[in-house]
């Protein structure tokens, strides 16, 4: 695998994905019963925004830096608080030097009874992940292929939890793998929450993927998309999407307020846009 997330950490797609992730985790915390988070493509866990990789692309400046600089209404800031608080905890006061990846964000929202399995195959990233999350008895890091992990670790012993699947999308069959993996995991654990990330580059590919999911027979599928620039250039990442299976019951309402604020903060030249609809479930009853 050649993909290195250090070049892209903190970009608009990370901000979007991680803001939604933290909202889901905040909901899981509302009940006393333990939950488990399974992060199938966890990466290194923490990224240095002052390093050469981040400096080469500067993508974080149009992502987390832009969000932190934006004027945001208090109610939206409250929705973002679990995410922004975790980012702040990784940085010195009034400075942005470090960006927490999804396993670090998830760990920040675990309680004593909750658990996290963070999976990463690429050797350097896996070693960094183990170092960055070392010493926390609630967390287990595993050097394993993410697609294998997607199947291997469900269902967890806890009755509640979240599976985050965030592949690098380097291979032409990644959309198909995402679909097959979800269907297989859902058969084994139909009550789990699944959060699947995908890039929006080639619209036809995304449309075909979401249509297949709509026909999958899975009962509750919420589609969430954020676009920061026109989709005309398929070589550039101008949008990203999330599939949320079994979303917490108030998540749609929260995202209906949060997404426009993210689009306003992160959209380029006023070109931000959002999609929030049901592929299966609430809106189709």
Residues 95-121 have pLDDT tens digits of 999 999 999 999 999 999 999 999 999
pLDDT at 203: 84
- Domains by residue range for the chain, with CATH: 5-284 (3.40.50.150)
Burial group, residue 22, by CB count within 10 angstroms (0-12, 13-18, 19+): buried
Q: Hey, how many other C-beta atoms are within 10 angstroms of the C-beta on 189?
A: 18
pTM (2 decimals)? 0.96
Angle value at C-alpha 47, between 43 and 52, nearest 5 degrees: 115
Contact 119, 149 (CB under 8 A): yes
- Told to judge if 166 belongs to the known catalytic residues of this protein, a careful annotator would answer yes
Report the candidate in 107, 117, 122 with the shortest Cα–Cα distance to residue 140.
117
Spot the catalytic one: 14, 62, 114, 166: 166
8: phi then psi, degrees, rounded to nearest 5: -120, 0
pLDDT at 150: 97
pLDDT at 1: 39
Host H or E run for residue 181: helix 174-188
198: phi then psi, degrees, rounded to nearest 5: -150, 150
Contact 80, 19 (CB under 8 A): yes
With a cut of 70, list the residues of the chain below it in pLDDT. Answer: 1-3, 231-234, 283-285
What residues contact 256, with CB distance under 8 A and at least 6 apart? 276
pLDDT at 110: 98
Report the candidate in 217, 237, 215 with the shortest Cα–Cα distance to residue 227.
237
């Amino acid at each position: 695998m050649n993909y290195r997330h250090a070049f892209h950490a903190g970009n608009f797609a990370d901000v979007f994905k991680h803001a939604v992730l933290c909202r889901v985790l905040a909901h899981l915390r509302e009940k006393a019963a333990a939950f488990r988070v399974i992060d199938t493509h966890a990466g290194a866990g923490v990224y240095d925004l002052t390093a050469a990789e981040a400096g080469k692309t500067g993508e974080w400046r149009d992502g987390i830096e832009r969000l932190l600089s934006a004027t945001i209404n208090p109610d939206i800031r409250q929705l973002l608080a679990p995410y922004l608080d975790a980012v702040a905890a990784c940085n010195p006061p009034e400075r942005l030097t470090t960006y927490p990846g999804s396993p670090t964000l998830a760990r920040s929202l675990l309680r004593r009874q909750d658990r996290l399995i963070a999976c990463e195959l690429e050797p350097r990233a896996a070693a960094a992940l183990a170092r960055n999350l070392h010493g926390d008895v609630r967390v287990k890091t595993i050097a394993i292929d993410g697609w294998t992990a997607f199947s291997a670790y469900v269902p967890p012993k806890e009755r509640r939890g979240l599976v985050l699947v965030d592949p690098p999308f380097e291979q032409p069959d990644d959309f198909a793998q995402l679909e097959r993996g979800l269907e297989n995991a859902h058969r084994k654990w139909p009550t789990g929450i699944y959060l699947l990330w995908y890039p929006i580059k080639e619209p036809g590919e995304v449309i075909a993927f979401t249509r297949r999911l709509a026909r999958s027979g899975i009962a509750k599928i919420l589609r969430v998309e954020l676009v920061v620039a026109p989709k005309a250039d398929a070589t550039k990442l101008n949008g990203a999407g999330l599939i949320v299976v079994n979303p917490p019951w108030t998540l749609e309402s929260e995202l209906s307020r949060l997404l426009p604020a993210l689009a306003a903060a992160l959209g380029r030249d006023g070109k931000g846009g959002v999609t929030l609809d049901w592929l299966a479930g609430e809106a189709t009853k």
